[in-house]
Amino acid sequence: MASTKITGAELTIRILLEQGVNTVFGYPGGQVLDLYESLYKHRKEIKHVLTAHEQGAAHAADGYARATGKTGVVIATSGPGATNLVTGIAAAYMDSIPLVAITGNVPTSQIGTDSFQEVDITGITMPITKHNFFVDSADKLAETLRNAFRLAISGRPGPVLVDIPKDIQEAMCRYEEAAPIVKDEPFAAKEIRIEEASDVISASKKPFIYFGGGIVSSGAEKELLELSDLLDAPMGCSMMGLSCISTDHPRFLGMQGMHGHYASTMSMNKADVIIALGVRFNDRSTNDRFKFETNAKLVHIDADGSEIEKNVSTYCGLRGDLKETLKLLIPLVKAKLLEKNKEKNSAGNGYKNANSEAWWKTIERFRREELKMTEKIDPESFNPYNIYKLLNSFKNVNTPVATDVGQHQVWAAQYLSFGKKRRFISNCGLGAMGYGLGAAIGASIGTGEKILLITGDGSFGMNLNELATAVTYKIPVVIVIINNKTLGMVRQYQTLFYKKHYSATDLDRKTDFIALAKAFGADGTEADSLESLKKALQLGFNAKGPFLINCSVDKEELVMPMFRPGGNTEDIILG
């Protein structure tokens, strides 16, 4: 193809177009004026969403990526513009979300002179990116940008930052059009490891499948369900795994771990083989990792080999793409089960798991014990359980749900139902309060769907400036504030483990959230009963733009069950 001589800024925007990017999020400034000039020229091809703050732009790009599976793109200027992206980049890094952050910087001749709004953003973000680049030559710009997109989506996805000094944006360079990059060819784990894993799994009497965000990244939902069917195995997930499969699947027990479903957590605890697929085994799932239940043989499959043996000991570790590995593993397991038992079952799988009935009797006992926790709740009371049940009745299978971080997030993970993947948009690893509204904006733009944002009064206080963005772009977001006038999760720990010493957690704010929404140009209403919430949701889901509902709930409401800090599964607190 013939090459064209253009500026570095123009080349940057053409690379975005080349990669199929049609939406970017950002905030302009002095060191990205050339980029914004080129964005202006291509405004019919790329939509730029101007947020109220760069952190909101990073979260919006993250939410866009989570909901669509595409790479999110965010642009910011040098200095404070770049540093304001840091929390958003870290949030994407912890949850393995593909993101390309493009920052401007001072001209290369001024680097290291402490010039106005100069900052070493590549140094700052080194620990929270898959890779980052400082472009010191216009000749390297095209290759660097393409490489950034390749790295963001290959293997274990994640954020990549490209820092482009102003003189590189202004310099003339040659651009040769190229096809969109594709991710590196996914590879399966080594055959010997797959063989070992098939031996362990086929010998299991009480298998448990524990999956996370890696299933979504690799597109291995079909293989996950096939393995569960083959073994008649229960499934549990990390928070990142939510919405990966339908909530009402008969073998799905829900989120496992510190604040997970009792049946899921206990079943994993009593399993003899845990098949872990694309999960990290952080403290949310293990609590004290040194006390983590070791009776089970752990088969851990992950695209990132550094996660295997990082937090817990594995019996069999497999580094490889989940989809490619499971495609090889499942037939081996099936063959070995056939060999062990030739009796045909009614499903026609060619084997019968003689231990399945006893294992499921144990699991059903856990389910009954879990059910007791909600049976005692007054069905008319205005509490989180009933609020979330009502929310379920309004959203549909296509409705994305975004959350901030705290009690409201965990209640959403426990009580909301999902029937389509990429519909739970939540910052699980970093736990950044203030994530929700930006992410909701990005997810709604990416999917074209009305979106439900569940937040808390504490979290909403950290991102409410993005109401300006939501109103400007007419984002159809229904914002439900679970308002308990406190920093709920922190207060819960103080209640249970710090002698009710409520140090700096009860919020004494007099903020009128409905008046605030109206000041931004949105609409909203109060809800203090199930009937008033139902009417509010009817208004919200019929609204064309943002609609805010302030739900006043009792600050004494606790998220249960939960692990005792420093304990193990046997120390689980039920209420």
Residue 202 in 3-state DSSP?
A: helix
Q: What is the pLDDT of residue 419?
A: 95
pLDDT at 343 over 60: no
DSSP-H helix ranges across 426-529: 436-447, 457-460, 467-472, 488-497, 513-520
Give the per-residue pLDDT at 468.
Answer: 98
Q: Does pLDDT of 456 surpass 60? A: yes
Q: Does 191-370 carry CATH code 3.30.565.10?
A: no
Catalytic choice (10, 55, 133, 166): 166
Residue 411 to residue 212: CA distance in whole angstroms = 18
pLDDT of res. 571: 73
- Please report the pLDDT score of residue 291 as a whole number: 64
296-314 pLDDT, tens digit per residue, is 999 999 999 999 999 888 9
Residue 347: per-residue pLDDT: 47
Residue 406 region by backbone torsions, left for phi larger than 0, else alpha for psi between -120 and 50, else beta: left
Of 54, 307, 324, 466, which residue is the catalytic one? Answer: 54
Interacting residues of 412 by C-beta distance below 8 A, sequence separation 6+: 388, 401, 403, 424, 426, 454
| pLDDT for 341 | 75
529, pLDDT greater than 90: yes
**What does the pLDDT look like over 16-44, one tens digit per residue?**
999 999 999 999 999 999 999 999 999 99
What's the mean pLDDT in 188-199? 98
Please tell me the pTM assigned to this model.
0.95
Please check the confidence at residue 47 and state whether its pLDDT lies above 90: yes
Class at the top of the CATH hierarchy for domain 384-552: alpha beta
In our burial notation (b when 16+ CB lie closer than 10 A, e otherwise), range 507-519 reads beeeeebbebbee
Q: Are 35 and 198 in contact (CB under 8 A)?
A: no
Q: Could you tell me the residue ranges of all domains in the chain?
A: 3-176, 191-370, 384-552
Residue 350, pLDDT score: 47
Residue of 276, 398, 302 lying closest to 96 (CA atoms): 302
Cβ-proximal residues to 33 (8 Å cutoff; 6+ apart), any chain: none
Residue 293 confidence (pLDDT): 60
117 carries an active-site annotation? yes
Average pLDDT over residues 358-369: 96
The Cα–Cα gap between 396 and 550 comes to: 22
Place of tokens 């069950």: 561
Summarize the confidence of residues 382-392 as an average pLDDT.
97
Catalytic annotation, pick one of 47, 70, 117, 526: 117
209: number of Cβ within 10 Å: 27
Q: How far apart are CA 20 and CA 451, in angstroms?
A: 24
pLDDT at 432: 97
User: Residue 525 pLDDT > 80, yes or no?
Assistant: yes
Among 179, 184, 171, 182, residue whose Cα is nearest residue 12: 171
Least confident range from 277-291, 360-374, 405-419: namely 277-291
Mean pLDDT value of segment 81-95: 98
- pLDDT greater than 90 at residue 344: no
Residue 3 banded pLDDT, cuts 50, 70, 90 = confident
Is position 116 annotated as part of the catalytic site? yes
Token digits of residue 131: 């890779």
Between CA 388 and CA 546 the distance in angstroms is: 20
The answer on pLDDT for 566 being more than 90 is no
| Mean pLDDT, residues 494-508 | 95
pLDDT tens by residue, 470-481: 999 999 999 999
Let me know if the fold of 3-176 is the same as that of 191-370. Answer: yes
| Catalytic annotation present for 489 | yes
For 482, counting Cβ atoms within 10 Å of its Cβ (0-12 exposed, 13-18 middle, 19+ buried), the class is buried
Q: What are the two backbone dihedrals, phi and then psi, of residue 9, each rounded to the nearest 5 degrees?
A: -65, -45
**Under 8 Å between Cβ of 480 and 402:** no
Distance of alpha carbon 146 from alpha carbon 154, whole angstroms: 12
Specify the CATH superfamily of domain 3-176. Thiamin diphosphate (ThDP)-binding fold, Pyr/PP domains (3.40.50.970)
User: What pLDDT sits at residue 282?
Assistant: 79
Q: What percent of the chain has pLDDT over 70?
A: 95
The answer, yes or no, to whether the previous bond of 561 is cis (omega within 30 of 0) is: yes
Where do we find the tokens 């409705």?
399
CB contact at 8 A, 26 and 189 = no
Decide: 85 and 101 in contact? Cβ < 8 Å: yes
pLDDT of residue 348 exceeding 70, the answer is no
Q: Which residue is catalytic, options 41, 116, 172, 531?
A: 116
The two structure tokens encoding residue 224: 């996950």
Q: Please state the rounded mean pLDDT for residues 429-440.
A: 97
